[in-house]
Structure 1
Amino acid sequence: MRRTVGGRFVVGLVVTALAVGTLGVVAGTGGASPAHAATAEPEAPDFASDTYGDAWDYTDSSDFNTDFSMTPATVAGGALKVALARGDALFLVHSISGSLPAGRDGALQPVDTAKYTHLTFSMDQPLAKHIGAVYWFSCREQTAACGGGFTFSTVQGPHVYDFDLTAKSNLLAGVPWKSAEMVVFRLDPVVLAESEGDTGKTAAIDWVRLHAAPDATHPHAGMPPGSYDGYTVTPRPQLVVDSPNQTQGQDLATAQAGRPWNFASAGATAKVTYSNTQLLSRDATGINARNAGPNQNDPQVHLPVSDFPGSTYHYLQFDMQYDGPFDLSGSPGGGKMARVIWNVSGNGTPQIGNDILTYSTGNQSEVSLDLTASDPLDEDAIAPKLGWAGRTITGVRFDPNEDPGQATWHLRSVHLRADPTATGVTNVTFHDNAWVQGTTAEVAVGTGAPGSAGYTKIASGVAVAQGVNSVPFRLGSLPAGKYSVQVTLRHPDGSTATSYANAPVVMKADTSHDPVGRLDSASGTTSGVTMTGWAYDPDATAGTQVRVYDQTSGSRSLGTVTTSIARPDVQRVYPAAPANSGWSLTVPLTAGNHTICAYGLNQGAGTTNPLLGGCRSVTVAADTSHDPDGRLDSATAVSGGATLTGWAWDRDTTDPLAVAFYDQTSGTRSLGRVTTTLPRADVRAVYPGAPLNSGYSRTVTLAPGTHKVCAYGINVGQGTTNPLLGCRSVTVR
């Protein structure tokens, strides 16, 4: 599968013909020579320093992708050197429509035109009476309608150029600088007339700054850090957050097959198959191959996978290079791009990913991109376009080089990774490419998107050393979840820089230091409940505390107990547990059904106070030992009623006890009360504590007929109820 995308690149690199006599804004600041500094000022915010953590000072090859120069260019000796020939355009911020943005693509990291309003650069060029040009584009297509810019007069020899980008825009559609974020920013060092052709000469650019406007704090905002005549510019941080990062998550091939797709290993890629590919050799750098028939422009690497969730494994990473220059034309030697194609569960239509640009040797590095960050599908993909996020992926194919020719390519590895994860704690690492003594760091984490509110500070005032620094991120009392990481550096001059990790980290709670245990039993009595169990906290030094709750309605603490009872059975399972890991607790409870739960109280590094096993249901019986005791011995019919006799007494009093009578023949009707006044030696013989006069007798009025009469002892003191002393049936004639 391939499409010719050469048109996209050609549109992006069109050089507008300019008359050499056309002059634009020029504001040379003059050369700066090292000297004793009379005043010091902090460096102004700079786009490359803030965005990449790497200023455009051309001390390393990553400062400029030479594939985005229309004439030969190199980064060497601390300068960007470009051949002065027609079309000598340098794309400082680049982007190409129809491709998945990765790396330093302007679609991923556009220029904030409200913040960075000035361009300053130092250039040494040998030609007299020429002009240069600056272009910007708010669209990846780089059409005239979304473009603007201006021309400027060049100076022969070394010179510092300084421009206010907001002052003028008279090229292309004249789109003003502050009208939108810019995804492409281009500098044409010297514009040559068509008759001049290749001059055979070179311009050298020492540094470029796309920076904030001068102000009282930054009067020399255009200048990089250093000492100049009468002033010194101190460096602001150039922060890079090294971890967590996209390469640290679980690898799909490792999860499914035990090892990653490392093409240097025949064993690791034994189940990988190839189409339209001629394998030439395998060495420590991977496989060396070239495109072959029948579809020479469509080499395919079929990756063996079992079904997997696309939202989990969503970082595509590959490491490859090819021989020859970067070219996106449809002719042999072009098509320098890769692609991923996949299948999803429930549909047979292949999902065709968009172009992934691959660059020439020296510009290419391992590509890492998020297939869920935006729509990864090709604009011309076959319907239905189902995408990657939220899908179950059933098959994956990687197309490394859509060149209709036979250029040799070299594939080292392919990965599909998940978000990095950590249990309990992980390390946030970072470095400052402009480090100075006295730099401090602040680290914060949040579950929202980078830049959103609600981040929690986990470290502040951290002394920053030169090189890689590390700050632990401990989950602690924070809830488990996915966290973005924010780092802010502060230099002694007060300048700051904030950056974010390029991947969130999924933090899981570390329960290895939490107490373990169990509520073995909860037994109800007539006065409360007795609970037993065991508990062990790896961090406890003098027993583990257990807190018990009654959760029948709400949650009510019943008390705390410390383990002190021998439990050899626990020590057999947990050898590090102390011998006395058992506990027992008895507490009073009201009569009724209760739900009892026990929790281990964490000590040390644990995360929570866990429930010890499950909760227990227990019934507490009523304590009737203080209720009245007695009996309705007889109910004898008499004229107009019945005589009721019996006995009663209450342990909480020696006074006569009241007895109430009820007719319960139909409903309940009170028949009055009587107190115990009659001697009952027989009762006292059985209940020595009962008073001698425990007997009672009462004649009650009843209508003719059969009645059910009942007697109740009236409780005094600690009893729970007025117990029934008995019922009798009596017929009144």
Structure 2
Amino acid sequence: MHDDTSIQRPAPRAPGVPRAPGAPRAPGQRRTAAVATAIAVAVGLTLGAVVGAPVRASAATTESEAADYASDAFGDAWDFTSAADFNTDFSGTPATVSGGALKVGLTPGDQLFLVHSISGSLATGRDGARQPVDPARYSRLTFSMDQPLTKRIGAVYWFTCREQTAACGGGFTFPVVQGPHVYTFDLAKQSTLLAKVPWRSGKKVVFRLDPVVLPGNAGDTGKQASIDWVRLHAAPDASHPHAGMPAGTYPGYTVTQRPQLVVDTPNPTQGQDYATATTGRPWNFTSATATSHVKYSNTTVLSRDSRGITARNAGPHQNDPQVHLPVSRMAGSTYHYLQWDMRYDGPFDLSGSAGGGKMARAIWNVAGTGTPQIGNDLLTYSNGNAAETSVDLTAQNPLDEDALTPKAGWAGQTITGLRFDPNEDPGKAVWHLKSVHLRADPAATGSTTVTFHDNAWVAGSTADVTVRTGSGAWQRIATGVAVTKGANSVPFRLGSMPAGKYAVQVTLRHPDGSSDNETAGAPVVMKAGPVASVDRSHDPVGRLDSATAGSGGVTVTGWAYDPDTRNPLAVALYDGKTGTKSLGRVSTSLARPDVVRAHPAAPAASGYSTTVRLSAGTHDVCAYGINVGAGSTNPLLGCRSVTVR
């Protein structure tokens, strides 16, 4: 027997027993759905032939990759060349992403959540509830794994509900083969586990791969499986029999890359920041002046540095630290993107014991009622998986299921008070809060710039850009744009089109005929007015000073500013060595008096520094300044070669 215990989430309070205003929900109140299922050796499943790494050889046939879920949903294939490819907080035993592989100890009960979701939390980032798997489009699983054991059984699970109960689950088992092998399965053929929910029975919000599910031997301790890549892809056809393989040249055939498109702008970080609009400064906790009106409860602030404030949970309610943000009558439908950058010490843990309760929460007040509006969990992962996170409070119901009535919510409300609760750890958790923002949709007068990049760029690629308001027809604003490696820019001029809120979509095509289309992360509010003349004097200015490898990753430092703003500037980082893969963003926040002396227009805090995780090998880390206001492009600030050992 193999016990499959779902991830725990808060249990509901008894009907009629609401949480008192301002009181925390005890993280010890957790709902556990224990799913026990007998594991049988799969029958009728196809185990792929052994396929080695791509080799340079004359190819008899050429075909393009099949549509792949990770490439399409994230613009980033599960090739484990970056830490973002797998959230190691979602594994039964510690897993690591290193050397271009996902490595996991071969212990029964290992659970590798490739697509994860936790009920009772707001869907952000790569949450499967935000980007579910469409089984009609992706019906095959192919992966490459090298492991040393014999006579073992693995399993694949999927769930149509975030609670991951047996009733909404299905899957199958498969024999695990010793050594390096490529495994390939038709997910629609059978489902023998849990409630045997068929693969094609609705979109999947959780998808899990368990390398080993049978009890091991004493000699198995310390042994690892190494998974080189995973593809959840469309079914091959007669013209593309090898489409499940990653791009490369193999004996007898070549597989060409499909686009891995990412639309960089417009995005939520470009929208007007509430604190900046009302006080001239964002809530950036690296600055005591910028956060002088912020108040704290159940918190001891220990220090302030480039990580923001370092603080520790304190009494009288130790499991309820609170950061009270100064807000006075704000339109919730205008400022609706909540963004935060936080880290904490210790591992990811949702239990109710000391060290657990690693989720944040927003609680706000609205005009017309004295009842606080209690937001649902905001998952905050361990340091290696943490990243600046944004959630649209109007895109989903943001309230806790057991919130007090009346449940006014956020959209359409006048917000009169706001606090951010970093965690619910009953122990003395130490956390680091760098920034909190409330942003509006990006806006422009007359014109703006659409930017995008392809993580699987090949020469000869082209792109089309279309826009629309509401549910109207898409209007093409650019056709056949030659796509270059790295950041690409296309102007969007309102012209004769009506003012309004526009969604932006990019369609990118490779020379082999494969294509991908993605919509920008935020619409842009286009206002009628004269278009400012575009010249390079409005582009960001800056430099990538250094990229230094260390035990925690590669530390990137530099400086940047935009002549059109005094606010912090976003700097996009890419790994040019692996096809310009996005490494995320960092905002300027550090004092650079040397920059101000050389560039008097630069803000005092024009420096930036962040640490990114990269696999072993040599990488070209590149930085781009993200343009604000007028300007023609997001210029390259520089590249640095760094070797990770």
Pairing of 1:334-349 with structure 2 (within 5 A): 334-349=356-371
Residue 245 of structure 1, aligned match among 264, 267, 276? 267
Structure 2 Cα separation of the partners of residues 51 and 503 of structure 1: 16
User: In structure 2, the residue corresponding to 1:470 is in which secondary structure?
Assistant: strand
Note if 1:25 corresponds to 2:64.
no
Rounded to whole Å, the distance in 2 between the matches of 1:485 and 1:229 is 41
Change in 2 beyond 3 A, CA 1:306/1:375: same
The equivalences for 1:78-117 within 5 A come to: 78-117=100-139
Secondary structure of the corresponding residue to residue 71 of structure 2: helix
Aligned partner letter, 1:400? P
Equivalent position of 2:522 in the other structure: 503
Change (3 A) 1:513 1:184: closer
C-alpha distance in 2 between matches for 1:374 and 1:412:
26
Q: SS at 1:51's partner residue? A: helix
Query: What is the root-mean-square deviation in Å for CA atoms of aligned residues?
Result: 1.7
CA displacement, residues 31-55 of structure 1 (integer Å, 9 cap, x when unaligned): 1341321110011100000110000
Give the whole-Å Cα distance in 2 for the aligned partners of 1:304 and 1:502.
Answer: 27
Partners of 1:508 and 1:150 lie apart in 2 by: 54
Partner of 2:403: 381
- AA partner of residue 527 (structure 2): K
* Identity among equivalent pairs (%): 71
Normalising by structure 1, we get a TM-score of 0.68
Q: CA deviation at 1:5?
A: 5.3
Give, as a single letter, the amino acid of the residue that structure 2 aligns with 1:376: P
Change (3 A) 1:9 1:59: farther
Residue pair 1:256, 1:305 contacting (<8 A) in 2 also: no
Look up the SS of the partner of 1:216 in the other structure: coil
How many Å separate the matches in 1 of 2:532 and 2:228? 56
Which aligned pairs between 1:328-367 and structure 2 lie closer than 5 A?
Answer: 328-367=350-389
Larger radius of gyration: 1
In structure 2, the partner of 1:283 is: 305
Q: 2:64 aligns with which of 31, 36, 42?
A: 42
- TM-superposed deviation, 1:448: 2.7
Distance 1:513 1:400, change over 3 A: closer
**Per-residue CA shift, 1:348-373, capped at 9, x if unaligned?**
00000000000001101011000000
TM-score for both structures, normalised by structure 2: 0.77
Residue deviations 1:437-459 (CA, integer Å, cap 9, x gap): 0000000001135xxx6100000
Are the structure 2 counterparts of residues 338 and 224 from structure 1 closer, same or farther at C-alpha, using a change threshold of 3 Å?
same
Distance 1:89 1:270 in 2: 45
Q: Give the Cα–Cα distance (whole angstroms) in 2 for the partners of residues 120 and 370 of structure 1.
A: 34
8 and 440 in structure 1: CA distance in 2 versus 1, 3 angstrom threshold = farther
Partners of 2:317 and 2:336 in 1: CA distance:
29
Letter in 1 for 2:427: G
Equivalent position of 1:216 in the other structure: 238
Give per-residue Cα distances to partners, 1:225-265, cap 9 Å, x unaligned. 00111000000000000000011000000111110000010
Structure 2 distance, partners of 1:158, 1:500, is: 38
Unaligned runs of 5+ in 1: 515-733
- CA distance 1:266–1:409, change in 2 (3 Å): same
Higher relative contact order (CA 8 A, sep 6+): 2
> SS in structure 2 opposite 1:62?
helix
**Is this contact kept in 2: 1:18–1:191, CA < 8 A?**
no
Structure 2 unmatched ranges of 5 or more: 1-22, 534-645
Contact 2:68 2:231 in 1 (8 A): yes
- For 2:497, the aligned partner's letter is L
Q: How does 1:252-271 map to 2 (within 5 A)?
A: 252-271=274-293
Match of 2:193 among 163, 166, 171: 171
2-side partners of 1:197 and 1:256: how far apart?
Answer: 64
Cα offset, 1:508, TM superposition: 0.4
Per the TM alignment, residue 144 of structure 1 is displaced from its structure 2 partner at its CA by: 0.4
User: Which residue among 501, 521, 526 is the counterpart of 1:482?
Assistant: 501
Partner of 1:434: 456
User: Which residue of structure 1 aligns with residue 328 of structure 2?
Assistant: 306
Shift of 1:6: 6.6
1:195-234 counterparts in 2 under 5 A? 199-234=221-256
1:585-633 Cα shifts (integer Å, max 9, x gaps): xxxxxxxxxxxxxxxxxxxxxxxxxxxxxxxxxxxxxxxxxxxxxxxxx
Partners of 1:30 and 1:65 lie apart in 2 by 28
Relative to structure 2, which stretch is displaced further, 167-176 or 21-30? 21-30
Q: Which residue of 1 aligns with 2:443?
A: 421
Query: How far does residue 86 in structure 1 lie from its aligned partner after superposition?
Result: 2.3
Aligned-partner Cα distance in 1 for 2:423–2:506 = 38
Q: How far does the alpha carbon of each residue in 1:410-452 deviate from its partner, in whole angstroms, 9 at most, with x for none?
A: 0000000000000111000000000000000000001135xxx
AA partner of residue 369 (structure 2): N
Partner residue in 2 for 1:642 = none
Mapped contact 2:168–2:197 kept (Cα < 8 A): yes
2:426 to 391, 404, 422: 404
Offset of 1:29 from its aligned partner?
2.8
Check whether the contact 1:26–1:153 (CA below 8 A) recurs between aligned residues.
Answer: no
